[in-house]
Structures are given as structure tokens and as C-alpha cells.
Structure 1
Amino acid sequence: MIPNWLLKRAALTPRARALSFEGKTWTYIELKEEAVIRANKLNALGLQRGNRIALLGATSAEMAMLIHGCMLAGVEMVLLNARLTVEEIEYQMKDSQSDLLLFDDAFSEKGRQANFRSVSYTNFLELEPIPMQLESMWEEDRVLTIMYTSGTTGFPKGVRQTAENHTASALSAVLNSGLHEGDAWLHMMPLFHISGFSILARAVLYGTEVRLFEKFDAAVAAQEIVSGNVSGMSVVAVTLERLLTVIENDNLLIHPKFRTMLVGGGPVPVSYLKRAGQCGLPVMQTYGMTETSSQTATLSAEDALRKPGSAGKPLFFTDIRIEGAEEPFDKGEILIKGPHVTKGYIGKHVDKQATENGWLHSGDIGYFDEEGFLFVSDRRSDLIISGGENIYPAEVEAVLVEHPNVLEAGVCAMPSEKWGAVPAAFIVAANTVDLESLDAFCKQQLASYKVPKAFYITDELPRNASNKLMRKTLRECVAEMNVE
């Protein structure tokens, strides 16, 4: 059995700072009181233990309180991506058999168009609460959240995440990074994403503060870090670069309290790591997915430049192996085992086994080096096979962003009659970039078959709500251009 995190934390450290948002702060006892009110309002809507509710909204204190309220009420949450269309919302609600859509007033147009029972935040908060028996203990396999994968192929899958999954993930993270008096996490991630939710889960388990912001803002993040307000933050490579630029341009000094810049969503370019080192920003690269309830491997800041491109070593409760690998550097699919791994899916994919003999097939290609450090080459679905040769887009992107005039890069497959497929690159330029010099730059560092056969300059790359690059969208752009 696992105790309800918020009830236990509020009993242990009631006056500790729990949450801050837009200038207001709540202690753990105050956060509990707000969450209880929302649990009782859910009861007023007729929602009981085991029912499912879909939440649609931006990152906010209200969303955080709703999340805790759902866990107190025993209501399973389907956390909807705020960027979904009405059709996508309806698919996920139908697939998850959600009983209600609760939406932020800013999403009223989508919320009211969806062909399901729905209630806005404003109407929800006006309800008269009906006291209920709070869920104080959870079975290990109790489903807390359901998150849909991005759906790079076919229909998105609804991933079940249990009390054990989230708790094991949080414990593994703290065993890796440690816990200090006064720790606080700067939260600028979407709450509906696994990285955003896991920050809430970790904080209440550790008894630390979450400094919550609606979205990423490099200037605000820099100020929080240099002022000593926070000890950690989660970013992806592109937001790390924006933060580094602010710190460098303003000659800011990192406060000694700040210990962890956790970077997920893909490898960090070496140039970024060097810049972070010069700024005194401790970068910890990490690897995880929706099915593993966030982190599953993490690289220490001390090893960042010694092992560039690595995701580190498996966390404490995690086993990772490479399918078919016999020696270090043998590439294959990354398989993951541990208490943080999902027990399965729902809806359309309910019959799909999440694991085989206890191992999750990640769909990612990677390898271990001779010291046991994990390297993630790419998504299997993003792999470019050109004339029988494997090309990993992330490897080409890592070279491109080292060019002084390239700010961001995305690489995908482009059809080729001769080779089957060849790489194409989309570039966000920092300054004017000469494509011939860019081609020459790549030829100096990449085998000829890995060099992009087409370069496209664009104002921005397609990214999801967590700022991860969506290569599927790049492939669709290439296909449209080829048709034209």
C-alpha cells in the first residue's frame, strides 16, 4: 500500500512551502485544504472512485489543485494535451471512456464543442462541495493518471500510470540527485506531460516547493536561478539554449543553491554543454518516456563533457538492456524493466501487451559503451535507411547545430528513387547561413551518405507542447513539397 502523497505530506510538514504561482504561495496544509474542496466538488458532480475525468487546461495553480483533488477523490485523470484539436479531444475521451471533461475557461471553445459532458473551471468552482471519504491509501496498481503518447504511428495510445509507477520514479530520481534543505523546483513544463506531472509528484513526496509558471520564459527562468529561489529545473535542449543566451548576454552568476538542470527530449549538443560549463550551470541529461513515468536513466553533470550524447546510467530501480547486443557499442532496441514501467494501455490498445517477459520495448535505438553508459541513437520510427545504411537523425542534427550560424536543426527522411531515402535538414538560422558552406561543414564531419541532400531554411521547427522536435511533421512537409 502507498499513502496518498498529499495527505501524508500535509500531516508531516504542514507549514512547508508547497506551491507558488503568480506571486501567491500555498503551504502543504493549505494545498491539502484546496485539494479537499475540489475533491468534494467532484463528488458533487457524481464522480466516484474509479471514474475517469479528462482535464484540459494550461499549467496553473488551479490545474495543480485539480490534479491533487482528483487523487484525493480516487478519480483517474486523463491529462489532455492543451494543443489537441476538438477531434483529437473527442478521440481520447471516447477511447478512455472518460465520464467528464473539465476545462480551463481559456479553452471554452474547444471544451464546449467536444461532444461529451463538460464543465468549465468557473462553473466547477461555483459548485457546492459535498463531503466524501477521501482516498488515503492506494494499492500499488491503482491507476492515477492516463497520458496519451504522441502517436508517431497509428492512433495515440492511452498509457496507464499507477501509484507504484509514479512513486518508484520519484524515489529513483532522489536517489540519483539527492535532497537538500530548502530545495525548490522551477516548473515551466506542461502539467499534462509526464515531465510536468512528475515534478508535482516528486515535490509532494520530498516535501519541497514547486515554483510554477504557465510557460517557459528564459528571462524569468534566469532570474529564478540566479536569485537562489530554486535548486532545479527541467528543460529540453532548445529551451536550455535560450536560457544560456540570457545568462551569457546579461553576465549572470548562477546561485550556488542551483544544483540540477535536467535536460530531456534528446541529446544536448556539445556546444551547449560547454557553454553551460562556462556559466556554472550543472546539466544532467536524462532519458525517459510516458511508459516509464519520466526518468529511467540520467547522466551526472560531472560526466556531461566526458560522455557527450549519453543519457547516463539506469536509475536505481531500473534495468536496461539492448536487444540483441553482445558487446559494448552494439546497437539495438532499448528494453526497460522496473516498477516505474506502465502495466499497460487502455481503449483501442487495451489488448496490446506493454511488456514482454517484463521488458518494455521502447521503440528507441541505442547502445551501451564500455563503461555502461547508455546512448540513445534515435526513435526507430525516425531511422533513415539509405541504400541499406542506417542514418540516425539526431547524429546529423548534433553536427548541424555546431555550425556557428545554425540555431536549431531537424532532420528527417526524404524519398529517393536511387537510395530509397536520404536525409533532409530543416534549419533555423541564427544569422544568414550559406547552404554551400553548411554542406561543406557537414561533409567534414559526416560520412557522405549521412550528409543532408536538401536544406530548408525555416523560421521555426515543429515542436510539441514540451518543445520536443516532431520529425513526423518534417516528413509530412517534405512529402508535400515533393508533390508540389
Structure 2
Amino acid sequence: MKVDNWILKQAETAPDRLAVDDGKTQLTFLKLKQQVSQLAGQLKAASVLDGDRVAIMTKNSLLGYLMALAVLGSGKTIVWINWRLSDDEIKRQLSDSEPAACLVADELFRESFDQQFIPFSTITNQTAVQVTLVPEFPSQTVASIMYTSGTTGRPKGVMQTFGNHLASATASTFNLGVMPGDEWLCAVPIFHISGFSIMMRGLIYGMANRLVDHFDAELIDRVLKHEPISTISVVPYMLKQLLKYRTADNTPYQANFRCMLLGGGPIDRPTLQQCRQRQIPVVQSYGMTETCSQISALNSADADKRIGSVGKPLFLTQLTLSQANQEVLIKTPALTPGYLNRQAAFQRKLNDTGWYRTGDVGHFDEDGFLYIDGRLDDMIISGGENIFPDEVEAAYANRPDIDEIAVVGQDDAKWGQVPTAFVVSDAPLDQADLTAYGRQKLAHYKVPTRFIKIDKLPTNASGKVQRFKLKQLL
């Protein structure tokens, strides 16, 4: 099966329809095609399209959006790089994915970057050569690669095909619907699946994307009140910040606003109740990078009776629970074909009958609504970002003043969770020094907010740290 190049398809069928708006510039689908074609010619002139993959590091800018579509429309795979990562983390991901180049928004360029990193301005200053955008793609062609974590070993790159993105978008529209004039506000990072899926759905549905550079609650509140936004995707931290403005000023959002799609971690009952009181239509959802975003969602009509639920499986998705440990198991055409260079690791995620093991634990209520109870492992979700304790611990492993370290998540009113470290050491702990050291090795949100000295880490008979006992000490 082949799928259309959705840029070309929309330019042909809806040339005058709004495609993207960054608050300053608006592009129709025809203008979008023209600018993407121009950029593709400039990428070709800079020899960026010589390989199969191109990495991109950008915020939610219009140029970043266009650059990504120029890579995609040229038939190359996008490797999304989280600009918040440390140099070492970025280098590990580039070493694993081997892109022809890493395109970097000028404001994110670092002095430490070598010739593999190319500023956007270098591309836009090129004289374009003639390039024809690829008209169609085999559905199994990998469109994008996203890394779910950067570890001290080989990072895990999730491959997402055009067929995966199409299946995800199809499932979403059966749940949320699409109407003429819809506009999806993208305030989540486009290097995450939550943001990139908005881009892809815009192309597939012929729906406008409203880009904002980064999350600013005051700006988002103003946009929702004064612009014709129909949908916004948020994580719990974003939702709580937006609620503050609704509390201070109960001016309603625009009439066609109908969905605040919530994902990225657990949300507390009082927050959802406040949303209901302030007539904010929250749709709780559940998904992952491996499934190109949501696979289950709770519609706003059920929100009152099912607070805390992520709803029922979307169209095309099968979902069940393991009898052994209540792990959520799924089958869906949106599921990744595997991890880049780590197919054995992906195969281990499939059970004997082909169900994908998500690593999440959940339960159904009597009416079949799904509730996510937590992780089988100990992943920390802070402000919508995933933090893996092993990665943080490894960053500190070589410090001579640390004998042992274990990291757990601590509840936080602002971020949902924050990482906290328990340290075994004979030396006094210098909190400021430990924080500064971590920021050299890790993205800042991964650095523990506290370092607590402990005489001995609790372990089981096999020597594994019992993190639940550490959490009891918080």
C-alpha cells in the first residue's frame, strides 16, 4: 500500500485552506507546498539530502515546521532531537541514527557543535536547486525516528512509518471528529510525538496548525480566548497553569473550542473537577511514542462519571490486560515496526501472541473504561517529560564522592513529579555542586532537585534497589 504525499495532496485539493499560522504569518496549503519545495531545493544544494536521514533540532517555529516538512517531502526520514538534551546525549543519538546532518535552529546552536550541525540560516542562504517532492510513499517507509530515552548504552530510537501516522490520525478523527475551519494549537514540542502528531494530522485532515514557540500560559490563554482554536494538546502541568488564568478571568474560550486533549502522565481529581466547573472540555488520553500518540481516550461527555479514566481503545486499536500482572497489552496498525538498531529489544516487548507490552499497569471498571495505575518500571514523568532513574544514576556513577546513588520520583505540585536522589557517601554532599555536575551531563529537567544522604540503599536478595522503600522516606 502507498500513501500520498499529504503536502501535495492538500495543495491540490484545498489550495486556499489555511495550513499553518504562527501568530505572525499564515500559509495556505498552496503556499506551504511552495515554501517546502523551496527549502527542499536549498537542502539539496547544501548536500543535506544525500543520505537517508536528517536530524532536526528546533522549537515550534514556522521555519522549524517548514524544515521538517521539506525533509519529509523529499523522501528522507526525520530524526527528531530534543534540544534540551546535553551534548553527550545528542551525540549518542546522532551516532545511533547516522543522519547526513543535524539541522539546528539558529537560536539553539551551541559553540560545542561540530560540522555535522548546520544552522537553519546556512540552509536558507543557499541558492535552491530544482527538486521534485516525492509524490507518494510506501506505507511501511519510516517517516520519523524519536528517541524515548538517552541511556549510557545505546539509545532507543522509535521508528514511525507513514502507515503508523495515518493509522493514528484515522483513529483520532473517529474519536474527536474533524470539522471545516478546525485549528489545532500546538503548544507541545514538535520533537515529541504529541507535537509531531499534530503536524501530521494537519496534513492528513487538511486542518490548520497554530504554532507557538513554547508553552506560555498567559499567551495560550489569550490565544484560546481570541482565536478560532478548536483543539489543544496539553500535559498536566500545562493544564494546571491554564486553570490559573481561568480562575482569575472567567472569559470563555472561543465558541468553536471543543477539546483540551490531555496526556503525558497522571492528573489529579481536583484539577479535573475544576476544569468541569470552568467548562473546559478535557479529553483524557493514553498513548506513547511507539504508537504515534493516543490509542485510548475518554470523551468529555464521560468525564464527570469517569474521572481518572483514559477512556476506551480508539478505532483500530485492540487493548487488553495481562492476567499475570495487569500490564496493558495492545495491537494497533499505529504500532512502530521496531527500535532502530535494536530489533531484539523490540521483539522482547512482544508476547507469544504478538501483543505489545506497554510497561504500564492498568485496570478496567465495570463498563470497560481503562485506568492507568502506574509503570511496571520506575519511570518519572516531570512536566510531561520522561525521566529514567538508571540514566540519571549513570551520569553520577563516576563521581569519586558518590559510592551509591538511587533516583526516585517525588510528587510535586507544579511538575507532577521531580527526580530525587538518595546518595551513599562518606563525604559531605554539596547540593549546588551536584546540581551543576548533573547539568553538564543531562538535560536540566533530569537533574535531581534534592540529594539526600543515606547510610545504605535498601536492596532485595538479588541486590536490586527497592525504590518503593526510598519513596516511603520522602
TM-score (norm 1): 0.78
Q: Does the C-alpha gap of structure 1 residues 271 and 380 become closer, same or farther in structure 2, counting only changes over 3 Å?
A: same
CA distance in 2, matches of 1:71, 1:205: 14
Q: Compared with structure 1, are the counterparts of its residues 424 and 40 closer, same or farther at alpha carbon in structure 2 (3 Å cutoff)?
A: closer
CA contact (8 A) 1:268 1:285 kept: no
Counterpart selection for 1:337 from 310, 318, 331: 331
1:304 corresponding residue in structure 2: 303
Q: Which amino acid aligns with 1:352?
A: A
Instruction: Report matched runs for 1:209-358 at 5 Å.
Output: 209-324=208-323, 332-347=326-341, 349-354=342-347, 356=350, 357-358=353-354
Superposed CA deviations along residues 280-302 of structure 1, whole A, max 9, x for unmatched, are 11000000111010011001111
Counterpart CA distance in 2 for 1:473 and 1:363 is 24
Contact 1:102 1:118 in 2 (8 A): yes
For residue 122 of structure 1, give the secondary structure of its aligned residue in structure 2: helix
Q: State the secondary structure of the residue aligned to 1:234.
A: strand
Alignment of 1:89-238 (within 5 A): 89-109=90-110, 113-115=112-114, 117-151=116-150, 155-238=154-237
Map 1:23-34 → 2, pairs under 5 A: 23-34=24-35
Which whole-Å CA distance do the structure 1 matches of 2:411 and 2:362 have between them? 24
CA shift in 2, pair 1:76/1:103, >3 Å: same
The alpha carbon displacement at 1:351 in A equals 3.4
**Cα distance, 1:156 vs structure 2:** 3.0
The Cα RMSD (Å) is: 2.8
CA, structure 1 residues 423+159, in 2 after alignment: closer, same or farther (shift >3 Å)? Answer: closer
Contact kept in structure 2, 1:2 and 1:140, CA below 8 Å: yes
Amino acid at match of 1:309: G
Find the counterpart in structure 2 of residue 482 from structure 1.
454
CA displacement at 1:75 relative to structure 2: 1.1
Aligned partners of 2:173 and 2:409: how far apart in 1?
Answer: 40
**Which range moves more in the overlay, 141-150 or 116-125?**
116-125
Deviation at 1:116, TM superposition (A): 5.3
* SS state at 2:304 partner: coil
| 3-state SS of 1:123 partner | helix
Deviations 1:148-183 (A, max 9, x none): 003589643001000000111011101101111211
Cα deviation for residue 322 of structure 1 reads 0.8
What is the deviation of 1:481?
Answer: 3.6
Name the CA distance, whole Å, in 2 between partners of 1:20 and 1:423: 40
Aligned-pair CA distance for 1:425:
4.0
**Helix, strand or coil for the counterpart of 2:311?**
strand
SS in 1 for 2:285: strand
SS in 2 for 1:352: helix
For 2:407 and 2:97, the matched residues in 1 are separated by 39
Give the counterpart letter for 1:59 in structure 2. N
* Deviation sequence 1:381-434 (CA, Å, 0-9, x none): 128xxxxxxxxx99xx9xxxxxxxxxxxx9x99xxxxxxx9998444489xxxx
Residue 460 (structure 2) aligns with: none
SS at match of 1:99: coil
AA of the residue aligned to 2:7: L
C-alpha displacement of 1:360: 1.7
Q: Deviations over 1:11-60 (max 9, x none)?
A: 11000011111421111111111111111122223344861111112110
Distance (whole Å) between structure 2 residues aligned to residue 214 and residue 483 of structure 1: 45
> What secondary structure does 1:58 align onto?
coil
Determine the C-alpha separation between the residues in 2 that align with 1:105 and 1:429. Answer: 30
Point out which structure has higher relative CO (alpha carbons under 8 A, 6+ apart).
2
* Unaligned segments of structure 1, at least 5 residues: 326-330, 384-392, 398-409, 414-420, 431-468
1:53 aligns with 2:51: no
Q: 1:87 Cα deviation (Å)? A: 1.0
Number of equivalent positions: 405
CA contact (8 A) 1:366 1:376 kept: yes
Q: 2:58–2:105: 8 Å Cα contact kept in structure 1? A: yes
User: Shift of residue 189 of structure 1?
Assistant: 1.0
1:335 is displaced (CA, Å) by 1.2
Q: Does 1:361 align with 2:360?
A: no
In structure 1, the residue matched to 2:402 is none
* CA–CA distance in structure 1, aligned partners of residues 297 and 13 of structure 2: 30
Alpha carbons of structure 1 residues 50 and 339: separation in structure 2 relative to 1, 3 Å: farther
Query: Does structure 2 retain, via aligned residues, the 8 Å contact 1:40–1:73?
Result: no
Partners in 2 of 1:255 and 1:48 — Cα distance?
A: 42
Tell whether the 8 Å contact from 1:320 to 1:334 is kept in structure 2 after alignment. Answer: yes
Partner of 1:370: 366
Task: Report the 3-state secondary structure (helix = DSSP H, G, I; strand = E; otherwise coil) of the residue aligned with 1:381.
Answer: coil
Superposed CA deviations along residues 442-475 of structure 1, whole A, max 9, x for unmatched, are: xxxxxxxxxxxxxxxxxxxxxxxxxxx97x755x
Does the C-alpha gap of structure 1 residues 72 and 23 become closer, same or farther in structure 2, counting only changes over 3 Å? same
| Residues 296-341 of structure 1 deviation map (CA, whole Å, 9 limit, x = unaligned) | 100111111211111111110111111126xxxxx51111111100
Paired residue secondary structure (1:90): helix
Relative to structure 1, is the Cα distance of residues 229 and 65 closer, same or farther in structure 2, using a 3 angstrom cutoff?
A: same
Residue 236 to residue 424, structure 1, CA distance change in 2 (3 Å):
closer
